[in-house]
Chain A
Amino acid sequence: MPSPLFCDHCHSLYPADGLDHFALLGLTPQYDLDPAELRQRYLQVSRGVHPDYHGTGAQSATSLQVSAQLNEAHRVLSDPVLRAEYLLELTGGPPATADKTVEREVLCVAFALREEIAEAKAGGDSAALEACRARVQRMYDETRARIAQLARQLPGDADVRQRLRAALNSIKYTRKLQSEL
């Protein structure tokens, strides 16, 4: 798919207003994507729009804006969690500011873990602390798998989008727990 941003022949740049991250990279908007293809597309489009090739010309401002958008698209799409979050936004799912629900089972496990962590820290029990760390990691991996499974169903129905929202909130919550360790 040719890039909508620039002409391969004359290197003219077009502003990327209104283009979503997938369109910018010439990709189909879906959760599953091949990392190698993503990288290859990213580099290919970069070669067309990077300020190094439009630096002093009249198109330098456009180049700067489009490059910044492209880098943002690449950053978001290369991270599975950010990608799911972005797809949810594209399909009209609830934003994190509107729906702060965290999955019940994650809350329960986290609640118990917090106490164990505090205890292990107080007692200087490094083995117990290591065990807690492993459990948080497992919880993180499981949540990530759920996110992937739900994001593949997008746009889906309202229920799917809501469950994905909760899973995304849960992974943020788990990360906070991880950083506390």
Chain B
Amino acid sequence: MPTDNLILGIDLGTTFSLVAYVDEAGPHVIRDENGDGRVPSVIGLTPGPPGERPQITIGWPARRRAVENARTTVYSVKRLIGKGIADLERELPFLAYAVRPGPRDTVQIEIEGRYYSPEEISSIILRALRERAEAHLGLPVSKAVITVPAYFDDAQRQATRDAGAAAGLEVVRIVNEPTAAALAYGLGVRPAPHAAKSAGEPGRFSLPTPTCPTTSAEKSGPAAGQTVAVYDFGGGTFDVSILRIEDGVFQVLSTAGDTHLGGDDVDRTLITLVTREVAEQFDVSITSPTTKQALRSLAEEIKIRLGQQPQADLELDLGKGRIYRRTVTRDEFEQLAWPLVERTLAFCGQALRDAGLKPADIDQAILVGGSTRIPLVRRRVGEFFGRPPYTALNPDEVVAIGAAIQASILAGRRPDMLLLDVTPLSLGIETMGGAMGKLILRNTTIPCRATEMFTTFVDGQTAIKLNVLQGERELAADCRSLGEFILDGLPPMPAGLPKVEVEFLLDANGILNVSAKELRSGKQASIQIIPSHGLTRDEVERITRESIEFAQRDMTAHRRIDLLNQVEFDTHKTEQMLAKVGHRLDAAERQRIEADIGALRQFAQQTDDLDELYRRLTAFGHGTLHLAELGIREALVQTKDDKP
């Protein structure tokens, strides 16, 4: 396999993250020893000794210990990335960990007096995925395609890219999750429905040959052209994208969604119900992080059980002998979830309108994301589009597979495929009077650009400040500010004379690039960007540097574990030999070796000086050479004696 340009495909999810790649045999999701490709997007940060960095646990172990370590476990960080504290008002009461305002309009997560940006937490997950891939492939990997919800704005996309950089990954493309799913669907990639359960079996999929990407329509996606709706209801976000798929071309016609509408919100309807009833019955308000976390896990479990059975029992220990018990029926649950599902359908309606289509024009409604396992969702989507939804894709894995396919396009291995995506939000600038002046409309194919002329108001003015916005509302205050863009270094001229042409360019990642030129002087203006909801260049560099130190520490931790294992092995082996051939040593040597065993074990347990431990381990080996020789000789004699 050509490994020099291998690019990973990463689905960085709210609840689960996955990593995949493509080789000659097709796309592969990289799985753990249980055959599961999913890594829970959960980080445990157990405080270390004073002055030391915390112990980090990632994935399943962190998720399993989330209740006991409620305050030090971070989950659903994707809902915080690229956001300000004001955006998260509805979010914060449900989080068991502490969130506080960060620099500018960002947030930070506080764990035991240390502050982490959402980018930092995401980078820990990304680094774990990268290491998983490197261990599986047996080679270093430095490039990745990372997926984001289609409805992510510029700040959220940039933040995701920054998190990748901090994990030592060059993010060669940010790709929209529903688009990635459509790629996998369009190529007819269908992981086995129970792939996650087939332990030990590496998932193998096959891709049709590049020259004929649409063969055997029955089994492998669209034959002639198709118009599809990808309904992506994940753990934290909802997207719907309408695509035209034809002759290897994947053209997104429109997209709509909400980056704060997912399975988490469905769970929260149950959490709210229980919290209310507990308050009524026991006069207890649930505030402790541990109970909050326990309730969160419980709500998720109830939701999953109600997917398979008509009712589920719920029990919550409130301490002091108070136990809250209740049966939740599916009908009751569906009533709670109903408004959320209806909201997703309203977005489907909007996406269809923007594409100039009606539900009947959709050939296939493709379900993606864990929340599409909810029977109510399947039923309502089917009713909306007037056809049973397409559920043959593994909703957990299809996005990672799509990301890997996009990675193979970027690596130049799929010249037959063309992906055309759109920007989900209109882009504009704040005009005089606080209005939003739109320059690029939502659902415009990317890359796209717009230029606008600006001038000065004061004689000799050398800088112009712009407030760049994303959103659909009329007023600048109701749109999202991407930050202040300061065009600097204009030649001093009388007011109104400079002609500054500013170019707003949305690249294929949906990320904004701004450049400016004063036309009279032909001088390129420099642009300083103060991001509203993201990190500055300096902050990204700091995280990157620190994570390299982290990596160094991880190496140290690995080495320590290896050395301790070696100490255990060597001392144990020596004890065995003493028992067998110890009687052949003189008493002094035997006593010395016994003392050496004790001393080495004790030193290994308390030291942090790994170089010294290594030196002592080597010395111990030399000190037991004589015994080892006796042992070998004995073994040889025995072997001879055993022979007939």
Contacts and interface: CB of A to CB of B under 8 A. Distances in A.
A71 B418 contact: no
Given A43-B418, A55-B172, A69-B449, 12 more contacts: A43-B249, A46-B420, A51-B507, A51-B508, A53-B415, A56-B410, A65-B449, A68-B447, A68-B449, A71-B448, A72-B449, A75-B445
Interface string B174-190: 00000000000000000
A74 B446 CA distance: 12
Contacts of A67: 447, 508
A52 interface: yes
Which 8 pairs show the lowest CB-CB distances between chains A and B? A68-B449, A68-B447, A71-B445, A51-B508, A67-B447, A68-B448, A71-B448, A64-B447
- Please classify the interface of chain A as helix (H, G, I), strand (E, B), loop, or mixed, using the class held by over half of its residues: helix
B172 A64 contact: no
Interface of A: 43, 46-47, 50-53, 55-56, 64-65, 67-69, 71-72, 74-75
- Please classify the interface of chain B as helix (H, G, I), strand (E, B), loop, or mixed, using the class held by over half of its residues: strand
Interface in B441-493: 444-449
A46 B418 CA distance: 8
Given A52-B418, A64-B505, A72 B409 contact: no
Contacts of B409: 52
B418 A64 contact: no
**Residue from A46, A55, A68 with most neighbouring chain B CB atoms (10 Å):** A68
B336 interface: no
B593 interface: no
Contacts of A74: 445
B418 A47 contact: yes
Interface residues of B, number: 20
Contacts of A47: 415, 418
18 contacts: A43-B249, A43-B418, A50-B419, A50-B508, A52-B173, A52-B409, A52-B419, A53-B412, A64-B447, A64-B507, A65-B449, A67-B447, A68-B447, A68-B448, A68-B449, A69-B449, A71-B444, A71-B445
A72 B505 CA distance: 12
Contacts of A53: 412, 415
A121 to B, nearest CB: 21
Contact of A52 (B410, B444, B448, B449): B410
A46 B420 CA distance: 9
A163 B505 CA distance: 35
Nearest to B441: A75
Contacts of A68: 447-449, 505-506
Contacts of A64: 447, 505, 507-508
Contacts of A52: 173, 409-410, 418-419, 508
Contacts of B419: 50, 52
A74 B447 CA distance: 12
B332 to A, nearest CB: 38
Contacts of B444: 71, 75
Nearest to A51: B508
A75 B445 CA distance: 8
Contacts of B410: 52, 55-56
A69 B444 CA distance: 12
Contacts of B508: 50-52, 55, 64, 67
Interface string B390-421: 00000000000000000001101001001110
A56 B172 contact: yes
A56 B508 CA distance: 12
Given A50-B418, A64-B505, A64-B508, A71 B447 contact: yes
B443 to A, nearest CB: 10
A107 to B, nearest CB: 26
A51 B421 CA distance: 12
